[in-house]
Structure 1
Amino acid sequence: MPQPCSVRTAATSCGRCVHTTGWSGLIPGIQRSCYDRRGRWRVNITLVSTFDLNGGAAQAAHRLHRALRGRGIASQMLVNRRDSDDPDVVRVVPTSAEDTAMWAARYAAIRAEEDVYPVLKAHRFSPFHGERAPSAAQWLDRLQTADVINLHWVRGFVDWEAFFPSQPAIRPVVWTLHDLNPFTGGCHYAGGCTGFIDSCGRCPVLDSDAGDDLSAQVLHRKRAVLARSQMPLHIVAPSRWIAKEAQRSSLFATQPLEVIPNSLDLDRFRPFDREAARAELGLPPGSIIMLFVAHLLDDRRKGLHRLAAALRLLGPVPGLEVVAVGMGTPAFDAPVPLTVRPFQASGACIAHLYAAADLVVVPSDQDNLPNTVLEALACGRPVVAFPVGGVPDMICDGETGLLAHGFSDADLSEALVRALQARPRWPALGEAGRRQVERENAPEVQARRYIALFERVIRDAAG
């Protein structure tokens, strides 16, 4: 049985007994205790994410939500777009003509601010987003039953000015970082830019030479909002890399931070028979299949063009072909056949594609803790990747996969050569990868780590 919660309340000081009036009673309208008399945790967790399945960050958030539910935790997700049939995922949309008009007006104002920059005007799915959102404060009443709010990837959904100052000092906010956007002036990945360490400006993503450009304004506004906010903010970094970046930033440098890796469903993503998977998917049984997975295949950050360049350097390899899973019809200039399969966030198809592959290649230029790497390792497939972001957290070179020894196309090509030469060791590499994710990325492991964090931030907030 869990130990009684040590949170102090205005009503009781319990010693060794279970609270009859716990932390939740401190917020009007919430009358639950941390643990009931049977030792069950009675704290409400609300995860906030723009999406629930659309994209890697959304899938990671939903996996955490399911992991918490699997431990009996009262978890719900609030999203702007709902693609799952999960009854505990609630879509927040305008409910009246007045709200709809307000959302539209705010969206137009946000676009007008961004459209000053041609690069943003030309690309609606741009790598830059500010801190404002069309929804403003219209849905914040849905958070009143939450004991802890867990933010995830919230671009275009959570408006900083409306959200942060509205949260009481006794309701902790935990922000799980899926990219750098929460602590930059708007970019999701900074490349070689270090502007977020100080004040942004002269933003390469905006193609701007102005010191007071939109990136500087956004970072200034974010800093001002947090200065006025009372609620405790705690940061969760899924990788050591993004933890270090957050600690270097001017915005989050002083915030408490903890590294908790993402999880995945180890029953869905598990080793399958390779030949059976290929027969099911209509893939040739004798080929060497390299798998590439990205939500958008033409997303240059994900690096399909880098894989093509590396394969050109590698030259012809008998029987080698690439299967790319994702949306779009990418250019692929390489002496290797390319097959494109549509991306499916749900269903068993993606797991069977991993099973059908010999190697999974992740040539991202920047990434946090890519789901593709976790999924491949869980399916017992070796991964070849650049040593960027959180990838080295998951791949031990020569043990669970192969890391390039640099960041050039030639370095990736050399890693592919080593991977092909290691063919007799592919089964051992795959088994080692599976053991690693069972140890570090099982849902129950992630849920246990988050529950411990939630208990601690509740205790700290209550004083």
Structure 2
Amino acid sequence: MRTVIINTFDIQGGAARAANRLHNALKSNAVESSMVVMSKKSSDPSVMEIGGYTPNEKIDYQYILRKLVQRYYIDSSRTDLSNTLFSFAYPGRDISSIPRLQSADLINLHWVGFFQTPVTIQKLMKLGKPMVWTLHDMCPFTGGCHYSAGCDGYTRDCRNCPQLSNDPYSLPNAILKDKLELFEGFPLTIASPSRWLADCARKSALFRNCRIEVIPNSIETDIYTPISKDDAKAALEIDPKNIVLMFGADSGNEKRKGFAELEAALARARTNPLFEDIVRRKGITILSLGPLTADMSKLGMDIKELGHVSDDTLIARAYSAADIFILPSLEDNLPNMMLESMACGTPVLAFRSGGIPDVVQDGVNGRLVPTGDVNALAERLVELVSDKALRERLGAESAKFVHGAYTPKIQADRYLALFEELRCSSDYKTWSAKTNSENRSDADGLDMECGPSFNAIRYKVMLAALLRAIPEICQAFASKMPDQNMEGICRLENEIDVLKNSLSWRLTAPLRKMLKAVRRES
């Protein structure tokens, strides 16, 4: 079987790592798997890089569209509800003519933000091949948000988006309508790594009539495996006697990752005499994968920040060095870090959110507390810190569970069984033939290759974005002006301020108002 996995990146980020793991697992199962990506960092010859939009290409206008709308229409209007990525769906790269896609038996979409659009995905559907879309967040079935932060607008029409404060043209609604129209009738199959995300997809306006399967991600259990905690700590220059608390994220400032709640829980834990005594004796080390927030360094604890690490062996050693992995996510799918930590025999303490309860069983192989309950998180942390036997029991069960259910072989077998079943269906060719003959909802004739709903508001959205960009453009222009010109502008501004504060200006105010009224009437 020839399969093509499509993802924006090959190994950068959690979704790319998950997609790449599936790609390698399929290859190990004698599947002729390849990846098509926008940006490639690996040296894997089975990964094909397409490239993205850059200002130097002939499609500068599309590049400008994306940057303008993303930065000034979306990013500049974000509310305090969430700061997780909210991405603009256009433009994209049409990859439907690539020979390996033309000859594929099945297409497997993954995280395709800034790479594929509703229009380019429809072009892939028109190839008449089975398609499985593996979800890594909520964006495939929303109008742009990658996590909804509790909003259920995606179950209806994505109007009045609570994540955008200034959206006069209802951009998310237009994007969702494009997806609904362009994908209509196609027998798309959804694969979700977690039951939580699968449930969200079933409720969504876009995927509620699709076949939805839950197939968890896998990890390399030959790499992520328990080793001596003392040896792992020593290798990282950590005192083996210390209790190591580990956590991590690509961005510690992303609200849904729960770092603010984690900081509050650590501060709360320090009110416990036993915990505080260990902290004062420098007996607790915080180990971080990825950047820490500024406030985390103010907690007065010993911190070892590893930053961004790409070496799986070093990451696995870090997990083994940890005594407790804290996962304070408020919304998440099936975090790679959770699986990796547990595979290394380190129990996870987490909020009961997203797909985390699929793997972490409270009191069996980890600890779960109600989402956002800082006091409960602190209490369980103190419990684990003070009970080595409990940590070791939960850690042993963690490794046993993950090594028994989340191996690459198990994941590949489940995907391959699904792929083989879908390959026998003729529904895809029937839909393709019908859609191509009717040219229904096709966007080929549209300038910029935007979907019909966005195309109807495109110029309004671009104009709104441009108007919002003007102050920043002017400021940037002014910053590049010669110093003498800036001095002249400052003098002029001062003279205007003096004039407006003068007695003559105040006395002539009624006359100016009268002149304005006369002009309006004439």
In 1: Cα distance, 2:55 partner to 2:99 partner: 17
Q: Contact 2:243–2:385 at 8 Å: present in 1 too? A: no
2:13 to 55, 72, 78: 55
In 2: Cα distance, 1:86 partner to 1:359 partner: 34
In 2: Cα distance, 1:367 partner to 1:44 partner: 31
1:82 to 23, 40, 43: 40
AA matched with 2:109: L
1:320 equivalent in alignment to 2:284: yes
**Shift, 1:215, TM fit:** 1.2
1:451 to 394, 416, 421: 416
After superposition, give the CA deviation of every residue in 1:244-271 in whole Å (9 maximum; x if it has no partner).
0000100000000100000000011000
2:66 to 98, 110, 132: 110
1:157 equivalent in alignment to 2:115: yes
In 2: Cα distance, 1:445 partner to 1:118 partner: 40
Q: Contact 1:404–1:414 at 8 Å: present in 2 too? A: no
SS at match of 2:200: helix
1:204 to 149, 152, 162: 162
What corresponds to 2:334 in structure 1? 369
1:245 equivalent in alignment to 2:210: no
With 244-253 and 321-330 compared, the bigger mean Cα shift is at: 321-330
SS at match of 1:111: helix
What corresponds to 1:311 in structure 2? 266
SS at match of 2:290: strand
2:323 to 358, 362, 369: 358
Structure 1 stretches lacking a partner, 5+ long? 1-42
1:128 equivalent in alignment to 2:92: no
After superposition, give the CA deviation of every residue in 1:194-229 in whole Å (9 maximum; x if it has no partner).
10010012212223475x5211111111111112x6
1:412 equivalent in alignment to 2:377: yes
Q: Contact 1:360–1:383 at 8 Å: present in 2 too? A: yes
AA matched with 1:370: P
AA matched with 2:213: E
**Shift, 1:337, TM fit:** 2.6
1:146 equivalent in alignment to 2:104: yes
AA matched with 1:117: Y
**Shift, 1:349, TM fit:** 0.7
Whose helix proportion is higher, 1 or 2? 2
In 2: Cα distance, 1:272 partner to 1:195 partner: 46
**183 and 118 in structure 1: CA distance in 2 versus 1, 3 angstrom threshold:** closer
What corresponds to 2:454 in structure 1? none
SS at match of 1:84: coil
Give the CA RMSD over aligned residues: 2.4
In 1: Cα distance, 2:85 partner to 2:288 partner: 22
Q: Say which structure, 1 or 2, has more relative contact order (CA 8 Å, 6+ apart).
A: 2
AA matched with 1:183: F
**386 and 365 in structure 1: CA distance in 2 versus 1, 3 angstrom threshold:** same
**Shift, 1:121, TM fit:** 7.5
In 1: Cα distance, 2:245 partner to 2:426 partner: 49
In 1: Cα distance, 2:248 partner to 2:55 partner: 41
SS at match of 1:187: coil
After superposition, give the CA deviation of every residue in 1:409-431 in whole Å (9 maximum; x if it has no partner).
22221221232244212222111
In 2: Cα distance, 1:203 partner to 1:50 partner: 26
**Shift, 1:445, TM fit:** 0.4
Count of aligned positions = 415
What corresponds to 2:152 in structure 1? 194
In 2: Cα distance, 1:224 partner to 1:410 partner: 47
In 2: Cα distance, 1:199 partner to 1:385 partner: 32
**Shift, 1:280, TM fit:** 1.1
In 2: Cα distance, 1:438 partner to 1:277 partner: 20
Map residues 340-351 of structure 1 onto 2, 5 A cutoff.
340-351=305-316
**Shift, 1:347, TM fit:** 3.5
**330 and 71 in structure 1: CA distance in 2 versus 1, 3 angstrom threshold:** farther
Structure showing greater radius of gyration is 2
Q: Contact 1:115–1:121 at 8 Å: present in 2 too? A: no
TM-score w.r.t. the length of structure 2 is 0.75
**Shift, 1:345, TM fit:** 2.5
**Shift, 1:313, TM fit:** 0.7
The percent identity for this pair of structures is 35
**Shift, 1:122, TM fit:** 8.7
AA matched with 2:198: A
SS at match of 1:361: strand
**Shift, 1:112, TM fit:** 2.5
**425 and 129 in structure 1: CA distance in 2 versus 1, 3 angstrom threshold:** same
What corresponds to 1:221 in structure 2? 178
**118 and 179 in structure 1: CA distance in 2 versus 1, 3 angstrom threshold:** closer
